[in-house]
Chain A
Amino acid sequence: MIHRPVRFSLLGLHAAAILVFLYLPVVTIAVLSFNDSTAFALPWQGFTTRWYARAIANPALLEAFRNSVLLGVGTGTAAMILGTAMALAFRVPFWGKSLVLGLILLPVMTPPIVHGVALAMFWRLNDVPLSLYGSAFVGHLSFVMPFVFLTIFPRIHRFDRSIEEAAMDLGASRIATFWRITFPLMRPGIIASGVLAFTLSFDEFMRTLFLTSQELTLPLFLWSMVNNDPSPQSTAVATLIALFSLGCLAVWTRFASR
Chain B
Amino acid sequence: MHQIDRRRILKAGAAGALLGGLTPGLGRGSALAADAVPIRLWLQSQWWTDEYAAACEKAIGVRIQNTTTANNPTTFSKLMAGGGRAVDVVQIAGPFIPPMADQGVLQPIDMSQIPNAKALYTDFAKPQYAFGKDGKQYGVPFVWGYDSLLYNADKVGPSDSFGVLFDDKYKGHIGLRDDAFFGLSTAALFLGKDKPFALGRRISRM
Contacts and interface: CB of A to CB of B under 8 A. Distances in A.
Contact of B85 (A130, A210, A220): A130
Contact of A209 (B45, B68, B74, B87): B74
Given A225-B45, A228-B45, A229-B45, A215 B82 contact: no
Contacts of B149: none
Interface string A102-145: 00000000000000110011011101011100000000000000
Interface residues of B, number: 19
A221 interface: yes
A227 interface: yes
B69 interface: yes
A213 B68 contact: no
Given A120-B83, A210-B83, A215 B67 contact: yes
Contacts of B71: 227
Instruction: Give the dominant DSSP class at B's interface.
Output: mixed
Contacts of B85: 124, 127, 129-130, 213
Interface in A218-248: 220-221, 223-229
A213 B38 CA distance: 14
Nearest to B74: A209
Interface in A191-228: 209-210, 213-216, 220-221, 223-228
A120 B86 CA distance: 12
Nearest to B45: A228
Nearest to B87: A213
A168 B78 CA distance: 54
Interface residues on A, range: 20 to 34
B38 to A, nearest CB: 9
B98 to A, nearest CB: 21
B65 interface: yes
B5 to A, nearest CB: 27
B45 A224 contact: yes
Nearest to A128: B85
A130 B86 contact: yes
B81 A224 contact: no
B152 interface: no
Given A224-B44, A228-B46, A213 B67 contact: yes
Nearest to B72: A227
Contacts of B44: 224, 227-228
Interface of B: 40, 44-46, 65, 67-71, 74, 77-78, 81-83, 85-87
